[in-house]
C-alpha cells in the first residue's frame, strides 16, 4: 500500500505543481521541472535530514518518470480549467490536499521504518507532505501555504500524529492506520477550504 500511495502522491503533486504555475506562462520544460520538483522535493528533504541516501527517487528509478508523466498529464487539465478561475482554484486545493495526505503519512511511515522515534516521524511526515508545496509556491512567486493561516500543515500534523499513535500504541495493521491518517488530513484540508476555516493570525 505504501509504495502505491507514494506513486499516486508523486503524480498528484506533479499535477498540482503545474496547476499552480499555470498563469506564469512557462514553456513545457519549465512546467515539467516545477511539477517534478513539487512531487519530489518534500521526500528529498526528508531523506537528506534523516541521512537516508541516496534519496528515494535516486534509489528507486520509478519516481522520477511518474513525476514527469504527472506534469505532462496536467497540461490538458490546466488548459481546461484555466477558463474558470473558481473551478481552477478548487482543483488545485483538491489535488494539493490529496498529495498532502498521501505524502505526509507515508513520510511518517518511512521514518518509523528507519528506526526513528515517534516525534521525529511526525515532523518528517509533515515535511514530506508540505516540502514540495513550499518549493512549488516559491517557484510560482506565491506565499507558501504553510506560512498562511490556512489549515494546511496543521492538517498534516493531525493526520501523521494519529497514524503514529495508532501504530505505536495499538495492534492495528499498517494499512488501516495509514488510511485513517490520510483520510483525516484530506478531510481537514478540504473542510477548512470549503468552510473558510483558518488559524488565528498574529494581529
Domain borders along the chain are 2-195
Q: Say what the alpha-carbon torsion angle 66, 30, 152, 10 is, to the nearest 10 degrees.
A: 0
Q: Can you list the positions of beta strands (E) in 1-72?
A: none
pLDDT computed for residue 63 by the predictor: 95
The answer to whether the pTM exceeds 0.75 is yes
pLDDT-derived band at 93, boundaries 50, 70, 90: confident
Q: 117: burial class by Cβ within 10 Å (0-12, 13-18, 19+)?
A: exposed
Contact 95, 20 (CB under 8 A): no
**pLDDT tens profile 97-143:** 998 999 999 999 999 999 999 999 999 999 999 998 888 888 878 87
Query: 59 is written with which cell numbers?
Result: 534509489
pLDDT computed for residue 84 by the predictor: 58
pLDDT-derived band at 150, boundaries 50, 70, 90: confident
For residues 125 and 86, the model is more confident at 125
Distance of alpha carbon 36 from alpha carbon 70, whole angstroms: 8
pLDDT computed for residue 199 by the predictor: 76
CA-CA-CA-CA torsion sign (85, 86, 87, 91)? positive
Distance of alpha carbon 184 from alpha carbon 10, whole angstroms: 20
Beta-ladder partners of 150: 198
Q: Is the pLDDT of residue 83 over 70?
A: no
Q: What percent of the chain has pLDDT over 70?
A: 94
**pLDDT tens profile 16-54:** 888 878 777 778 888 899 999 999 999 999 999 999 999
pLDDT computed for residue 77 by the predictor: 75
CB atoms within 10 A of CB 50: 18
Amino acid at each position: 500500500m505504501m509504495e502505491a500511495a507514494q506513486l499516486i502522491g508523486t503524480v498528484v503533486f506533479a499535477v498540482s505543481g503545474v496547476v499552480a504555475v499555470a498563469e506564469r506562462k512557462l514553456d513545457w520544460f519549465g512546467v515539467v521541472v516545477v511539477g517534478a520538483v513539487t512531487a519530489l522535493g518534500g521526500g528529498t528533504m526528508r531523506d537528506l535530514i534523516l541521512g537516508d541516501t541516496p534519496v528515494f527517487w535516486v534509489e528507486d528509478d520509478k519516481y522520477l518518470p511518474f513525476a514527469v508523466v504527472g506534469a505532462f498529464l496536467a497540461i490538458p487539465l490546466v488548459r481546461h480549467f484555466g477558463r474558470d478561475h473558481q473551478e481552477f482554484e478548487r482543483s488545485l486545493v483538491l489535488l494539493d490536499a490529496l498529495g498532502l495526505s498521501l505524502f505526509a503519512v507515508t513520510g511518517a511511515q518511512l521514518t518509523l521504518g528507519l528506526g526513528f522515534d515517534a516525534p521525529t516521524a511526525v515532523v518528517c511526515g509533515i515535511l514530506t507532505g508540505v516540502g514540495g508545496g513550499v518549493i512549488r509556491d516559491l517557484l510560482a512567486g506565491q506565499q507558501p501555504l504553510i506560512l498562511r493561516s490556512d489549515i494546511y500543515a496543521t492538517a498534516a500534523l493531525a493526520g501523521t500524529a494519529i497514524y503514529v499513535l495508532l501504530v505505536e500504541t495499538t495492534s492495528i495493521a499498517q494499512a488501516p492506520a495509514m488510511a485513517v491518517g490520510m483520510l483525516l488530513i484530506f478531510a481537514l484540508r478540504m473542510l477548512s477550504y470549503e468552510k473558510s476555516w483558518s488559524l488565528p493570525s498574529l494581529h
